[in-house]
Amino acid sequence: MQAIKEQEHQASLEASISAWIDAEADIRPEDLDTPYGRRVWDTYHMIGDVLRSEELAIKPSDFLYARISRAIDEEPPIVAPRPLSMRPYARAGLSGLAVAAAVAAVAWIALPYFTASDGGVAETPVLATAEPEGIYDYVAAHRDITGVGPVRQVSFEPGDAR
Partner 1 sequence: MNQRDVDAALVARVQRGDKRAFDLLVLKYQRKIMRLLSRMIREPAEIEDVTQEAFIKAYRALPQFRGESAFYTWLYRIAINTARNWQAANSRRPVTSSIVEMGDGETFDEIDNLTDISTPESMLASRQIADTVTAAMQSLPEDLRTAILLREIEGMSYEDIAQSMGCPIGTVRSRIFRAREAIASQLKSVLGDDHDTDRRW
Partner 2 sequence: MSGVLSGAADWPPARFACRRTGRLEVAAFLLALAAFVGSAPVLAAKASETSSPEMALLQKMQQAARSLDYAGVYTYQEGSLVLSTRIVHVVDGTGERERIALLDGRPREYIRHNETTQCLLPDHKVVLVERRDPDRFPAILFDDGARLPAHYDLQISESPERVAGRECRDLTLTPLDAQRYGYRLCADQDTGLLLRAQTLGPAGVLTQIVFNTLDVGKGVQSETLRPTWNTKDWKVVEVPVHEVDLASEGWRIPLPAGYQPLTQVARQMKAERQVKQLVASDGLSTISVFIEAYGDPGVQQREFGLVRKGAMSVYRKRIGDHWLTVLGEVPADTVRDLAHRTEYVPLAVP
| 19 touches, from partner 2, partner 1, none (C-beta below 5 to 8 Å by class) | partner 1
Measured at the alpha carbon of residue 5, what is the angle toward residues 4 and 8, in degrees to the nearest 5? Answer: 90
Q: Radius of gyration over alpha carbons of the chain, in Å?
A: 26
Residues within window 60-119 making contact with partner 1, judged by CB under 8 A: 60-62, 64-69, 71-73, 75, 77-81, 84, 97-98, 100-101, 106-107, 109
The H or E element spanning position 102 is helix 96-103
Q: Is 49 in the site for partner 1 (CB under 8 A)?
A: yes
Q: Is 96 in the site for partner 2 (CB under 8 A)?
A: no
Helix 2-21, helix 35-52: angle, nearest 10: 40
- The contact set with partner 2 (CB under 8 A) reads 52-55, 105-113, 115, 117, 120-123, 125, 129, 132-135, 137-142, 144-152, 154-162
